[in-house]
């Protein structure tokens, strides 16, 4: 259906471009042509019309200017015109930039990219730099669904390697691209040849990664250790060695490499992130993740993205998602805490912010900033009267398959929104704390869950609040222990709480073990499978 829509949009833009060109309105024609190429980048009719524009004295380039935040269709059209003008080396970086922007789109599936002559003529160092830049944007490995759209670049590298067989950097960059596209053996061949031609730290890293992709772990570790010998102060390589060892069952050796790295620099971001992730894998202690979150907050660096915290939290109840479960009415003992229904504006803002998944608790806190313009009274109304799911793809999926999950999700995000009001007030005496504590203590129900999660999330981002929140969670855990619908979930909330006492952590673990044993006897297996599939679909996995 999406492909049909794209083709119809391309045909419409193409028709308008032809009409504009017939009227002599070349700039309008170029605008429509850029729109068409964005929808169907390899459609022959589009390239025929581009060819007509290329016959202009300037090759049509002024019709597709490169400006800040240029439209991707404009960038791609300019790349093709540059190639038509005999300047493919100038067009290729633009095409690669488009592929980095949306890797799954077939921007490069055109004859001039796969022409063997381009690989022969192009300066190999320039091609290597373009490929390395592309590699930083397409994922490692690239998603399988989008690899076909990137293969023309690999074909181009193959042609260039045949023409420049002794260019070590081209071989290394080509190896990096090959392994991202699932061609591990080709990656090994190119990286091996490059390391032999010009031994260096970078060549050994390329080789180590290629061996690892091919499943040849001893050779991978040997190459990465050689890279360390070239540069003993590059602690990112220590982290790579540690990660590889841990992934293959050698956790003690992995932690030894991390300790060596941290002894050199306790604040090295790669070593710190990898160390906390591996220690959490080794013993499951939440303190490692909390320390990692603290490190990320205190050492913000937007030039090097790490996903260790999100990987550790992935698919864990409350650490990364609202857990599914049967709905239940508010506790009859809960007194009314708001009058009236939420305003339409409040509902709209909640629809934009709320989602059943988040990378980790600090990310959920940041995402809830979008609710700062919703007044506390409206947030309380959203908690008391959760609105229907939004009319979008995720909302429709939840409404169809798990409507109870959406209602819980709405309450969770409304509680998170309360954290962003009157933030200048010291936490112990703040209105935001009082409102959330009142909600958490007002009964034992889904509102309790939502308020506790907001309090726990705040404990992740403010170390000064941790002892207060941990004590409150411990008390609510005891109160919920006899609830057949809430004990399991609140126990998971407790296990997500920073600085929870060992006794409460043991109590929460025991509740979860008992509840999950009972669930094995009563919950149909198919239902569990559907919930898992829904989560994977929503998260894009």
Determine the Cα–Cα distance for residues 148 and 459; give it in Å rounded to an integer. 45
Closest CA to 361 of 442, 270, 455, 446: 455
In the structure encoding, which two tokens stand for residue 303, read together? 């030039």
Inter-residue contact 264 to 235 (CB < 8 Å): yes
Which residue is associated with the tokens 């390589």? 237
Q: Is 182 left (phi over 0), alpha (psi -120 to 50) or beta?
A: left
Determine the Cα–Cα distance for residues 21 and 27; give it in Å rounded to an integer. 9
Quick one: pLDDT at residue 438? 96
Non-local (6+) Cβ contacts of 325 within 8 A are: 404, 408, 485, 488, 489
Inter-residue contact 450 to 412 (CB < 8 Å): yes
Quick one: pLDDT at residue 523? 46
Inter-residue contact 288 to 255 (CB < 8 Å): no
Inter-residue contact 455 to 473 (CB < 8 Å): yes
Determine the Cα–Cα distance for residues 440 and 438; give it in Å rounded to an integer. 5
Quick one: pLDDT at residue 534? 58
Q: Per-residue pLDDT tens, the chain, 541 aa: give them.
A: 455 678 888 888 889 999 998 898 999 999 999 999 999 999 999 999 999 888 876 788 999 999 888 999 999 999 999 999 999 999 999 999 999 999 999 999 999 999 999 999 999 999 999 999 999 999 999 999 999 999 999 999 999 999 999 999 999 999 999 999 999 999 999 999 999 999 999 999 999 999 999 999 999 999 999 999 999 999 999 999 999 999 999 999 999 999 999 999 999 999 999 999 999 999 999 999 999 999 999 987 755 678 999 999 999 999 999 998 877 888 899 999 988 899 999 999 999 999 999 999 999 999 999 999 999 999 999 999 999 999 898 888 888 888 889 999 999 999 999 999 999 999 999 999 999 999 999 999 999 999 999 999 999 999 999 999 999 999 999 988 878 778 999 999 999 999 999 999 999 999 999 877 665 555 444 444 455 555 665 555 5
In the structure encoding, which two tokens stand for residue 199, read together? 């031994």
Determine the Cα–Cα distance for residues 281 and 270; give it in Å rounded to an integer. 16
Alpha-carbon torsion 499, 500, 501, 503, what sign?
A: negative
Task: Please state, in angstroms and as integers, the Cα–Cα distance from residue 352 to each residue in 142, 314, 414, following that order.
Answer: 29, 22, 12
Determine the Cα–Cα distance for residues 119 and 111; give it in Å rounded to an integer. 13
The phi and psi torsions of 317 (rounded to 5 degrees) equal -55, 130
In the structure encoding, which two tokens stand for residue 455, read together? 């309090």
Quick one: pLDDT at residue 519? 59
Inter-residue contact 211 to 237 (CB < 8 Å): no
Quick one: pLDDT at residue 76? 96
Quick one: pLDDT at residue 143? 94
Determine the Cα–Cα distance for residues 526 and 536; give it in Å rounded to an integer. 15
Alpha-carbon torsion 294, 365, 442, 507, what sign?
A: negative
Quick one: pLDDT at residue 10? 86
3-state helix, strand, coil in the chain (%, to 5): 70, 0, 30
In the structure encoding, which two tokens stand for residue 141, read together? 């490995």
């Amino acid at each position: 259906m999406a492909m049909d829509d794209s083709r119809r949009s391309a045909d419409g833009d193409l028709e308008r471009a032809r009409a504009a060109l017939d009227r002599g309105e070349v700039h309008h024609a170029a605008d429509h042509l850029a729109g068409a190429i964005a929808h169907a980048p390899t459609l022959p009719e589009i390239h025929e019309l581009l060819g007509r524009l290329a016959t202009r004295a300037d090759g049509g380039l002024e019709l597709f200017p490169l400006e800040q935040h240029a439209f991707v269709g404009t960038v791609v059209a300019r790349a093709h015109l540059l190639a038509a003008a005999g300047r493919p080396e100038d067009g290729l970086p633009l095409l690669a930039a488009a592929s980095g922007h949306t890797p799954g789109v077939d921007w490069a599936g055109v004859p001039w990219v796969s022409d063997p002559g381009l690989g022969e003529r192009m300066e190999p160092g320039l091609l290597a730099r373009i490929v390395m830049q592309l590699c930083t944007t397409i994922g490692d490995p690239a998603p399988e669904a989008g690899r076909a759209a990137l293969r023309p670049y690999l074909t181009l590298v193959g042609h260039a390697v045949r023409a420049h067989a002794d260019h070590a950097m081209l071989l290394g960059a080509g190896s990096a691209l090959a392994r991202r596209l699932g061609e591990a053996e080709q990656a090994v061949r190119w990286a091996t040849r490059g390391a032999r031609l010009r031994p260096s730290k970078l060549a050994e890293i390329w080789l180590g990664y290629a061996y690892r992709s091919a499943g040849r772990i001893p050779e991978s570790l040997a190459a990465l250790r050689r890279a360390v010998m070239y540069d003993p102060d590059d602690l990112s390589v220590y982290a790579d060695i540690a990660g590889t060892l841990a992934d293959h069952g050698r956790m003690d050796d992995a932690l030894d490499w991390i300790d060596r790295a941290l002894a050199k620099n306790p604040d090295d971001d790669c070593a710190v992130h990898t160390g906390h992730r591996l220690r959490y894998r080794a013993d499951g202690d939440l303190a490692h993740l909390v320390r990692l979150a603290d490190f990320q907050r205190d050492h913000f660096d937007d030039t090097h993205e790490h996903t260790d915290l999100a990987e550790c939290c992935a698919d864990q109840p409350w650490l990364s998602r609202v857990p599914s479960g049967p709905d239940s009415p508010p506790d009859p003992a809960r007194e009314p805490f708001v009058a009236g229904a939420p305003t339409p504006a409040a509902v709209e803002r909640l629809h934009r912010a709320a989602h059943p998944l988040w990378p980790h608790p600090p990310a959920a806190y940041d995402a809830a900033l979008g609710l700062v313009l919703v007044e506390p009274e409206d947030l309380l109304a959203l908690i008391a009267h959760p609105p229907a799911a939004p009319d979008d793809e995720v909302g429709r999926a939840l409404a169809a398959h798990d409507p109870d999950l959406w209602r819980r999700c709405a309450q969770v995000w409304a509680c998170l929104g309360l954290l962003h009001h009157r933030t200048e007030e010291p936490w112990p005496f703040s209105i935001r704390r009082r409102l959330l504590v009142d909600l958490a203590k007002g009964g034992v129900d889904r509102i309790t869950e939502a308020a506790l999660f907001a309090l726990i999330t705040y404990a992740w981002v403010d170390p000064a609040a941790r002892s207060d929140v941990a004590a409150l969670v411990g008390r609510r855990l005891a109160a919920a222990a006899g609830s057949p619908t809430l004990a399991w979930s609140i126990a998971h909330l407790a296990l997500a709480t920073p600085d929870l006492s060992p006794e409460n952590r043991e109590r929460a673990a025991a509740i979860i073990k008992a509840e999950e044993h009972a669930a094995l006897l009563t919950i149909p297996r198919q239902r569990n499978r559907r919930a898992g599939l829904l989560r994977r679909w929503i998260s894009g996995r």
